[in-house]
Amino acid sequence: MTYPLDATHDAQRQSWVESANAAGCDFPIQNLPFGRFRAAGSTDAFRIGVAIGDQVLDLRAAGLIDTNDMNALMAAMPAERRALRQKISDGLAKDKEGSAQQAAWAKALLPQAQAEYTVPCRVGDYTDFYTGIHHATTIGKLFRPDQPLMPNYKWVPIGYHGRASSIVVSGQSFKRPQGQTKAPDAAEPSFGPCRRLDYELELGFYIGPGNALGSAIGIDDAEAHLFGVGLFNDWSARDLQAWEYQPLGPFLAKNFASTVSPWIVTMEALAPFRAPFTRPEGDPQPLPYLDGEANRQQGQLDITLEVYLQTAKMRADGAAPARLTHGRVTEAAYWTAAQLVAHHTVNGCNLQPGDLLGSGTLSGPTPDAAGSLMELTLGGKQAIALPNGEQRTFLQDGDTLILRGWCEREGAVRIGFGEASGTVVG
Ligand code: CA
């Protein structure tokens, strides 16, 4: 299936929430991403909201839904989701200004500056993939100069089952993990704080309707089972990882924290920003269960991603965060979200509403588009210089890492993902 363009994508449409009409705003009326929020500092239950300009619209208070259960909302089929999006868009549109509905909905708005968030849905299961081919190649080179990419990479969307319990929402800090590490020249491992703490720039794909155990989701239906996309930082302890990852893959190096953005940008909102899926000349074509016409035509998401670092010193000096990474998903991802869903379920594995699929580190082909410090510093061998004279190989206590993303295209209104930020503490 494909997601059609409709009146909710009309570039001329503006909102009576004036901040949504500002140029460069992440949350114009064409976006309408979903999250869970409450008044900052309150102990209220989290409610389902949609970001509009610098406000959050409380969907239940606006009479649009009768639940606080995001997962129940995500289980709806695309036609139902599309109908809800149309209602929200119509009600927020400028031509509703002065109506009784506008007066009621205005009371259901909360400024984002006065809100706090939680993980946007209950994530039952989380799987991390490895779709960034430039990341896989660069990291592979550090370990295996003669064979950077494993022979299965161009045939199988590589992934592993991650841990959902330690996924946290943007704005939170986490403790530097401790663990076992072993220097290559040491006889035995030692125990202590991670010394090679890194980030991974990823997208998180959220599952909408699930599938029954024993049934597979075909590639042509896969997108109907996607609810939307958020930013995802898969914090990684490289020294723990190097010692523990063989033979079963990442474990404690990855499961101490992962940070998501508060907002899920829906597949409907992303409809104007799709791109063809292609394979480079000479690469194998996907096996039939990973190949479909809609996927070829527009399987890719044209999203620009950036990473910023603000050190404790920058914060103390009032200096802006420094940009580390700037790249595009279309240049980074070797597999599409639909292919990940088709592959994950081809053996009968059941996905459930709210499950999260990490894309893997989305590094572009050039060094300035590298999505981890491991790549930017050549495995910690070459420190990067920050604008204020500080240097980094890996993250230090007090460092805040911020992921940002947006979509921009001629004829469409730019939409953004907000941000996913997290701070390392000792
Ligand atoms: Ca990862």
**What's the pLDDT score for residue 422?**
98
Read off the pLDDT of each residue in 384-391 and give the average, rounded to a whole number.
97
Q: Are strands 258-260 and 167-169 parallel, antiparallel or unpaired?
A: parallel
Interval between CA 372 and ligand 1 midpoint (Å): 10
d(CA 106, CA 91): 10
Question: What mean pLDDT comes out for the span 170-185?
Answer: 96
Annotated active-site positions, please?
135
Write out the H or E segment, with its range, that includes residue 355: none
The CA 234 to ligand 1 mean position distance, Å, reads: 5
Distance from Cα 55 to the centre of ligand 1, integer Å: 32
Torsion sign over Cα 109, 111, 116, 118: positive
Q: What is the pLDDT of residue 219?
A: 98
CA of residue 231 to ligand 1 center, whole Å = 12
Residues 196/253, Cβ–Cβ less than 8 Å: no
Among 71-80, 140-149, 353-362, which is the least confidently predicted range? Answer: 140-149
Q: CA torsion, points 94, 100, 102, 105, in degrees to nearest 10?
A: -160
Gap from CA of 333 to ligand 1 centroid (Å): 13
| Count of C-beta atoms within a 10 Å radius of residue 39 | 12
pTM, 2 dp: 0.98
Is the pLDDT assigned to residue 179 strictly greater than 80? yes
Q: From ligand 1's centre to the CA of 129, what distance in Å?
A: 7
| Per-residue model confidence as pLDDT tens digits over 184-206 | 899 999 999 999 999 999 999 99
Q: Is the pLDDT of residue 127 over 90?
A: yes
At residue 1, the pLDDT reads 81
For residue 143, pLDDT beyond 80 = no
Q: Which pLDDT belongs to residue 384?
A: 97
pLDDT of 221 strictly over 90: yes
Q: What is the pLDDT of residues 286-318, one digit of tens each?
A: 999 999 999 999 999 999 999 999 999 999 999
Confidence of residue 2 (pLDDT cuts 50, 70, 90): confident
Q: How many CA atoms lie within 13 A of 240 on its CB side?
A: 22
pLDDT digits (tens, 9 = 90+) for 17-34: 999 999 999 999 999 999
Q: How far is the CA of 334 from the centre of ligand 1 (A)?
A: 15
Mean pLDDT of the chain: 97
Neighbours of ion ligand 1 (CB under 5 A): 128, 200, 234
Q: Give me 245's structure tokens.
A: 């990852």
pLDDT at 352 over 80: yes
Q: What is the percentage of the chain residues whose pLDDT exceeds 70?
A: 100
Per-residue pLDDT for 224 more than 80?
yes
Distance 86 CA to ligand 1 centre (A): 35
pLDDT tens-place string over residues 72-104: 999 999 999 999 999 999 999 998 788 889 999
Q: What is the mean pLDDT of residues 151-173?
A: 97
| Confidence tier at 144 by pLDDT (50, 70, 90) | confident
Kindly give the distance from the C-alpha atom of residue 130 to the centroid of ligand 1, in angstroms, as a whole number.
7
